[in-house]
Amino acid sequence: MAEVDVRLERVTKDFGETIAVDDLSLDIAVGEFFSMLGPSGCGKTTTLRIIGGFEEPTRGTIYLRGRDVTDQPPHRRDVNTVFQSYALFPHLNVFENVAFGLRRRKVPHDEIDARVRNALKLVDLEGFDKRKPGQMSGGQQQRVALARALVNEPQVLLLDEPLGALDLKLRKQMQLELKRIQQEVGITFIYVTHDQEEAMTMSDRLAVMRNGRIEQIGPPEEVYENPQTQFVAAFLGASNLIEGELKEQRNGTSSVRLQGGDVVQMPSDRAPFQTGVDVLVGVRPEKITIAPENGPEPAAGSNSVTGLLRMSTYIGVSHQYKVEGPGGHEMTVWVQNLGTDPAPTPGERVRLSWQREHTFAVLPQEGLSLEEEEE
């Protein structure tokens, strides 16, 4: 890894009985776009506040570029924060909002002027300097908040669900903007969100958090394609988990007998468990093809199960199918809308097939259900 920018070493934060952050260790590289992703209450904000110096850890150490800053107040850390609530000064215009911190630090006028204009250019708000926050949209106000943080040229920028208040379309647009800005300035971004798509779109690496701990950390593709736990499989997109038993491992291939009797296979490194254990077999919805049950046999080397098509939803670019699969488990299938094959209709018996390489297994985790958890 490149030079470490932010290091958390065995950080714990208790609030009375609540363990908000639980013995968490983490390295974030210089210039990395790093996201902490997880459901509400898993400790994302607390971790961010500990990095920013707004919260003192109960135990553990925080390093910035190798310097122990655990006992340093926020202003002694080269870190800025952008929150979901923009907290702009309503009576000041855009320029003065962005210039505020620099003026307080008695930065020379010329320099303030240059730096503020540069920051506004970066967030695509040139020409807006005289506007008041009340005369701008939510997205524009969030850009001002971002410019206000970037103008300080911090080493690390912390962002706590900064797009949470925006509507979906604007949020998607801002995700790309944030990524572009981060690449342009090269500052380390630590981004907190409960929105998996957001984290996947922007991050170089992400950490999926649960109960104050990191469940899995890695590049988005790796975490998505190769989830290591049931929680991660279910939190990052629909996962289609089916109960089964690991039956055999031979020549690098593992076989699992699913509830209902079907046997599926996968590379053994995607099911790194002992034979005989109960596992959950997963496959991502976009990896599956759907065909009539009595159609042609699936290609050799692929897995296949049969089920009853319950629901078909047209979503423009794709169709989403809900199928009652092995053991009565609901499976989700996404099929790109090429407009060639006729869409199967609910009530039909169907065959779902996918490649072995796209199959993974995880161990069942206590306290998690197999039903989709809706946000």
Q: Is 46 in the site for ligand ADP (CB under 6 A)?
A: yes
Residue 337 binding result from ligand ADP, Mg ion, none, given CB thresholds of 5 to 8 Å by partner type: none
Closest to Mg ion by CB, 156 vs 258, is 156
Closest to Mg ion by CB, 45 vs 353, is 45
Task: Count Cα atoms within 13 angstroms, Cβ side, for 263.
Answer: 9
Strand order in the sheet with 156-160: 79-82, 156-160, 188-193, 33-37, 205-210, 213-218
Closest to ligand ADP by CB, 193 vs 359, is 193
Closest to ligand ADP by CB, 162 vs 325, is 162
Residue 80 binding result from ligand ADP, Mg ion, none, given CB thresholds of 5 to 8 Å by partner type: none
Residue 133 binding result from ligand ADP, Mg ion, none, given CB thresholds of 5 to 8 Å by partner type: none
Tell me the number of residues near ligand ADP by CB under 6 A: 11
Q: Which of residues 21-60 bind Mg ion (CB under 5 A)?
A: 45
Residue 15 binding result from ligand ADP, Mg ion, none, given CB thresholds of 5 to 8 Å by partner type: ligand ADP
Burial 26-39 (b: 16+ CB within 10 A, else e): bebebbbbbbbbbe
Residue 46 binding result from ligand ADP, Mg ion, none, given CB thresholds of 5 to 8 Å by partner type: ligand ADP
Among 6, 11, 35, 44, binds ligand ADP (CB under 6 A): 44
Query: CB-based contacts of 109: which residues, under 8 Å, 6+ apart?
Result: none
Q: Which two tokens stand for residue 43?
A: 């400790």
Q: Is 40 in the site for ligand ADP (CB under 6 A)?
A: yes
Q: What's the first-to-final CA gap in the chain, in angstroms? A: 34
Among 10, 15, 135, 297, binds ligand ADP (CB under 6 A): 15
Q: Do residues 123 and 94 make contact, with C-beta atoms less than 8 angstroms apart?
A: no
Closest to Mg ion by CB, 211 vs 306, is 211
Strand duo 67-68 + 18-29: pairing: unpaired
Closest to ligand ADP by CB, 38 vs 325, is 38
Residue with tokens 């490194």: 269
Q: Is 17 in the site for ligand ADP (CB under 6 A)?
A: no
Q: Is 265 in the site for ligand ADP (CB under 6 A)?
A: no
Q: Which of 347, 354, 319 is closest to 335 using CA atoms?
A: 319
DSSP state of 155: S
State the minimum distance, in angstroms, from the CB of residue 47 to ligand ADP: 7
State the minimum distance, in angstroms, from the CB of residue 16 to ligand ADP: 7
Among 6, 24, 45, 144, binds ligand ADP (CB under 6 A): 45
Q: Do residues 5 and 32 make contact, with C-beta atoms less than 8 angstroms apart?
A: yes
Q: Is 18 in the site for ligand ADP (CB under 6 A)?
A: yes
State the angle between helix axes of 168-185 and 138-150 in degrees (0 to 180), rounded to the nearest 10: 20
State the minimum distance, in angstroms, from the CB of residue 213 to Mg ion: 16
DSSP state of 56: -
Helices (H), the chain: 44-52, 94-104, 109-122, 138-150, 168-185, 196-202, 220-225, 230-235
Residue 206 binding result from Mg ion, ligand ADP, none, given CB thresholds of 5 to 8 Å by partner type: none
Q: Which two tokens stand for residue 12?
A: 């714990």
Residue 314 binding result from Mg ion, ligand ADP, none, given CB thresholds of 5 to 8 Å by partner type: none
Q: Distance (Å, rounded) from C-alpha 65 to C-alpha 231? A: 32
Residues of this chain that interact with ligand ADP (CB under 6 A) are 15, 18, 20, 38, 40-46
